[in-house]
Amino acid sequence: MTVVDQRILRVGIEVSGEIRWYEGSGNFGLAIKASGTKGATDTQNTADVTITNLSKAVRNYILTETSPFNKNRTPKKLIIEAGRISTGTARLFVGNITKSSPTQPPDIGLNMTAQTGAFKKGDVVARSGAARENLSAIAGRVAGDLEANLTFEATDKQIANYSFSGATLRQVNALAEAGGVDAYLDDETLVVKDRGKPLRNRVKIIDNSTGMIGIPEATERGVSVRILFDLQTDLGGKIDLTSELNPALDGSYTIYKIDFDLASREAPWYLDIEASRNQ
């Protein structure tokens, strides 16, 4: 008898430092849907989550805590993790809940929308550097303001008279422009890398044997391809693509956008990748 490697979809909701986890796996646990977009730009990553079969008490707790009228103004964090029983789960998305609402009957569920760095959009900072300063040092300060980890893989360089005044989140764009690099907030990590270059040691091989769905398509910047969700596909990482039906697109690419569409009980379990061609 074939053993089914059940998918796992977990959602964590953090309120006042406490994380409550809600999980669905096949026909067990909760019915959960999660979709969203992650991009290697200063545009915020977004996610939409629907959970059904929550108890009334839990549903009301989440709706109350994430209400814009709640006097508790601390960030309400949303975490999405996905994987399979054989491999475990990996963190796919982290952001702040910006909206929540109940679904319509008969299956009363809970809808939530979240964005990365949403809580930092309202913070205003003023920063100025030395006459000449390393890009890595500036990136470290920006990461600190964002309360994020830092992955710095860009060629370090001297930046003259760096200054910024405005919303904390907008520093990501200012950093990219000042250094001529790719800078983006990937969940809880500020990533800074050479423009158009892939992150080191993050390679995903895509072909018919590794979960590619359908035929890859050419885009203005490179390629668009759909794959089954896996734990090895990272925003900013490299893909090595091989297509039997469209070999003209074979080659190496850098991922700049990932759309995810996952469900614990229904068909979706996909990543739609857009990537630019590596020279």
Weakest-pLDDT range from 13-27, 167-181, 198-212, 265-279: 13-27
Weakest-pLDDT range from 30-34, 38-42, 105-109, 173-177: 105-109
Say yes or no to pLDDT of 2 above 80: no
Q: How far apart are the first and last CA of the chain?
A: 47
Residue whose pair of structure tokens reads 């040092």 in the numeric block: 137
pLDDT score at 78:
94
For residue 5, the SS3 value is: coil
Cα–Cα nearest to 198, from 225, 236, 232, 241: 236
Res. 3 pLDDT band, cuts 50 70 90: low
* pLDDT tens track for 130-139: 889 999 999 9
Count of beta carbons in the 10 Å neighbourhood of residue 125: 16
* pLDDT tens track for 237-258: 999 999 999 999 999 999 999 9
Query: 90-115 burial string, b = 16+ CB within 10 Å, else e?
Result: eebbbbbbbebeeeeeeeebbebbbb
Q: What's the Cα-to-Cα distance from 30 to each of 16, 22, 24, 94, 199, rounded to whole Å?
A: 24, 7, 4, 20, 35
Q: CA-to-CA distance for 233 and 240, rounded, in angstroms?
A: 11
Provide φ and ψ at 194, rounded to 5°. Answer: -60, 140
Spatial neighbors of 214 by CB under 8 A, at least 6 apart, are: 226
* pLDDT tens track for 42-70: 789 999 999 998 888 888 888 888 887 88
Say yes or no to pLDDT of 234 above 60: yes
Phi-psi region of 42 (alpha: psi -120 to 50; beta: other; left: phi over 0): alpha
- DSSP letter string, 188-205: TEEEEEETTPPPTT-EEE
* Mean local confidence (pLDDT), 195-203: 94
pTM for this model (two decimals): 0.92
Say yes or no to pLDDT of 1 above 50: no
Q: CA-to-CA distance for 76 and 96, rounded, in angstroms?
A: 5
SS3 sequence of 94-123? EEEEEEEEECCCCCCEEEEEEECCHHHCCC
Res. 41 pLDDT band, cuts 50 70 90: confident
Query: Please, are residues 105 and 33 in contact by the beta-carbon 8 Å criterion?
Result: no
* Mean local confidence (pLDDT), 193-202: 94
